[in-house]
Structure 1
Amino acid sequence: MKAPARSAVGVLLREWRDRRRISQLDLAISADISTRHLSFVETGRSRPSREMVLRLGEHLDVPLRERNQLLLAAGYAPAYGESELAAPELKAVREAVRLLLTGHEPYPAAVVDRAWNLVDANASLQVLVDGIAPELLTPPVNVLRVTLHPDGMAPNVLNLGEWRAHLLGRLRRQVEATADAGLAELLAELRGYPCDQPVPEVELPGPGDIFVPLRYRHQGTELTFFSTVATFGTPLDVTVAELVIESFYPADPATAAYLQERAAG
């Protein structure tokens, strides 16, 4: 991992503070340092200690990957490892993920990384990807691209405008939280995909609505899902921190019965 060549740590900290819309005074109070010291750090008049960089990164809710970049910009070694998921030290993580995926059968579930690339999935996810273009399933498989591409799931998403708005909203918030240029490029790409349904600018619930459903047609049968998202609660490794497990649940008895019968058959 190389240090960013464009700026020193003070400039990066100022950018993160502006991105979080936190004043210098508020950050100084929450991090228990003086505003004068923080000002000196941001302007480059004072070099922060390693502990100070980590403390400010935590109070600014900077992702672990970018906290390492802050440390490198300040002249320190990264604090958080970035292991391959197949590495021996992540065996417990892999086992936990696999347990969640298999335990969720016969309903679909998948694991993605920060870039929304598919890491793992259970067998029931097949119900959502039957019949889509094979090139979209060539690794690395990006699940947002698979979902919204006209050769992917999109033609079978019955509420495509609503689901598209939901996914693009999630990705937009992720871009704002991480400042990841790759995610910003992905967002621009997905926004360029055609959509033959109105895309709401704001998600307004209708009477009795409690979540945004995914209404999907599989082999002529309409299925309705809602999803939950899980992450690791106390990660200290970049790879683990960026894993997201999304589990789909049947939103009506007919969907549940269809999936159970399909699994049994």
Structure 2
Amino acid sequence: MLDRQRIRHDLRVREVTVSAVSQISPSMRRITFSSPTLDDFLAPGPADHVKLFLPDEHGAINAPAVDAEGRLRRPEAPLISRDYTPRAWRAAEGGHEAQIDIDFVLHEGGPATNWARAAAVGDHLVIAGPRGSRTAPLEAARAVLIADATALPALARWLETLPGRTVIDVIVWGSDEADAEYLDVRLRTRIASLNWVPADAPSSALEDAVAGIDFETGTFVWAAGEASALIPVRRHLRGLETLDRRDLDVQGYWKRGVVALDHHAPLDPSDPE
């Protein structure tokens, strides 16, 4: 089993302000948040996530708070929240406050997409977490990374975090070819092979792409995206004798037909961990 450190963080809830908005690919919008509360922000794991608390139809943001004893206090009003990977963090410098970038996929709708489409400099949000991190396996000789559009920010972080000696194969599925520009030249130089499975490919295309890889002993595999599509992928990977199950990290970021999927829930209840 490859070594991956688990790190627990103090529970933090931060009020942040939009300081920049940019369209970085046809379906991906980057929102930069600034705040002095981000000075001690830590997210060393490539797939770390924070929880964004979004405004309701009246513009009110209902969010939890941390009391003096470090316990989380939830408001009585309903919470509207979604999980996102922090793409980058920058320390306060040159007159600007500490910043983080969050990349939003602009899909067919939903509270996060609708907020991101209309976001402007000066808008406010509340961000909580991350509660914990799991670091990259820095001694891995090879890694296979599998992502859909919602997992592209985490994929980019994996490409930045894994050491240069790690050979990296990448499969991206369910995304338009135009979104390939999200992975810039700097990131692409880290990829040994890239298989881009388009959004209109047959439902079996992802599984076929994974089955076409020769997984060597000691390979690390990370996969994230739409949960239903990843179930047969994980079953295939777990059946390979060359892979240690403890070196498989498969996460359902969302599930078709399910609102606000808890990505900590079992990917496939019929196939337990």
TM-score normalised according to structure 2 size = 0.28
Q: Whose helix proportion is higher, 1 or 2?
A: 1
Instruction: Select the structure with the greater relative contact order (CA < 8 A; seq sep ≥ 6).
Output: 2
TM-score normalised according to structure 1 size = 0.29
**Largest Rg, 1 or 2:** 1
